[in-house]
Amino acid sequence: MNEAARTMLRRRIAEQRDELVRFLSELVRAPSPNPPGDTRAACAVLQRWLDAAGAPYRIVAPRPDAPNILGSFAGARPGPHLVLNGHFDTFPTAAADRWSHDPYGGEVAQGRVWGTGSSDMKQGTASLVALYGWLYAMRDQLAGRLTLTAVSDEETFGPHGARWLVEHHAEEVLGDCLLNAEPGAPTTVRFGEKSPLWLAIRVSTPGCHGAYTHKSASATKIAAAIIEALAELERIAVSLPGPIAEAIENGAAEIDAVHAAGAAATMGRVTLNIGGWNGGTLVNMLPGDCTVEADIRVPWGLSSESMIAAARDIVARFPEAELTVLSRQEPRWSDPTHPMVGHLRRNAEQIAGLLVRPIPSLAGTDARLWRECGVPAFTYGTTATNVAMPDEYTDIAEWLDVVAIQALSALDYLCDGEGS
């Protein structure tokens, strides 16, 4: 570790405390809900910070209203390639009438920044953009390369954000290690995540007048029966890989503290959520068409192919139904003893007195795309507070600690030229 560089970086963060809070507030005031996914205003806020820092970047925009920021620079000597990843699209504002603060006001009050996306994940993307600029100014003290990927199309796992960069600019963005800043809790570093498997099931029958139920089977009744049958997937036995099982066991108390009781148990099993239902036209018409959409989270030790096969077997019991795979990934994980995990744990203890546990994650992030390509990928961020709920916010004191932890860990990874 280069203690002089660490001291310089910590001083820079402290000096820019107020500027950082204004930066996050301004980013929240630039609406970027996805859908519809127009993120140009938010992207402009990030660009202004990068321009002020003089840091190199370019815009990659396969969809004109959803630009991505891609920046990269080399250190003074050979070394590892660290990639930073965050997104600046957000969920649509939830229940705007129940907020006590303007969802797009970016209000700074009660030691918090309030607003849609303040937690998920404009705070994380702002911190990564800031540290990219700081380390660019210190590049003569670094080894290797630092790359920034700030993307527009994450909330819907869309094709125009990180997936586009990985598929079309792999030589620039894959690197040797990824640091992602999605929120979760600053007491955990996440090294893997369950895999989302999204299925659509369409049921088709002739349909008829609602008084003549003898003429046609009901598409909605069949769909309801299929949903009940799909619950069988949650009872599939799972044999977790050793490091995953150990991490869940050792971190169970913290996992439940962060995500509510039952989270640790949920991590190691298949879960089913029926996120979409579309059937019926009028109350006095028997529906001839119904579509349900299922979100199945596949744990480590199972494959998406095995889950698809199990779902097809269930749906095949209903001749009126047809299954389509909307999206699939494999549940991968990275080595929880990787040097980046060590840097994050050490810096969290030194800066904030936090004991950080490596754990897998319930929710999906863009980090999975790097893991699919064999790149170790880790997620570390602030507490996920009221995400997709009224009065979403980020605690400023916690965030500034996390900013310092992320920045110093990136610096440590690049300073010695070996990432350890």
Confidence tier at 364 by pLDDT (50, 70, 90) = confident
pLDDT for the residue 418: 55
Mean pLDDT throughout 41-69? 98
pLDDT for the residue 420: 47
Q: Which CATH architecture has domain 3-193+332-415?
A: 3-Layer(aba) Sandwich (3.40)
Of 3.30.70.360, 3.30.2270.10, 3.20.20.190, 3.40.50.300, which CATH number belongs to 195-327? 3.30.70.360
| Mean pLDDT over the full length of the chain | 96
The answer to whether the 3-193+332-415 and 195-327 domains have the same CATH topology is no
Q: Does residue 382 register a pLDDT over 70? A: yes
* Domain ranges, ordered by start, for the chain: 3-193+332-415, 195-327
pLDDT for the residue 35: 95
Q: Does residue 397 register a pLDDT over 60? A: yes
Mean pLDDT throughout 87-102? 96
pLDDT for the residue 129: 98
Q: Does residue 133 register a pLDDT over 90? A: yes
SS in 3 state form for the chain? CCHHHHHHHHHHHHHCHHHHHHHHHHHHCCCCECCCCCCHHHHHHHHHHHHHHCCCCEEECCCCCCCEEEEEEECCEEEEEEEEEEECCECCCCCHHHCCCCCCCCCEECCEEECCCHHHHHHHHHHHHHHHHHHHHCHHHCEEEEEEEEECCCCCCCCCCHHHHHHHCHHHHCCCEEEECCCECCCEEEEEECEEEEEEEEEECCCEECCCCCCCCCHHHHHHHHHHHHHHHHHCCCCCCHHHHHHHHHHHHHHHHHHCCCHHHHHCCCEEEEEEEEECCCCCEECCEEEEEEEEEECCCCCHHHHHHHHHHHHCCCCCEEEEEEECCCCCECCCCCHHHHHHHHHHHHHHCCCCEEEEECCCCCHHHHHHCCCCEEECCCECCCCCCCCCEEEHHHHHHHHHHHHHHHHHHHHCCCCC
**Model pLDDT for residues 298-337, shown as the tens digit of each residue:** 999 999 999 999 999 999 999 999 999 999 989 999 999 9
pLDDT for the residue 362: 87
pTM of the model: 0.92
**Model pLDDT for residues 157-200, shown as the tens digit of each residue:** 889 999 999 999 999 999 999 999 999 999 999 999 999 999 99
pLDDT for the residue 307: 98
**Model pLDDT for residues 190-221, shown as the tens digit of each residue:** 999 999 999 999 999 999 999 999 999 999 99
pLDDT for the residue 210: 97
Confidence tier at 272 by pLDDT (50, 70, 90) = very high
Confidence tier at 416 by pLDDT (50, 70, 90) = confident
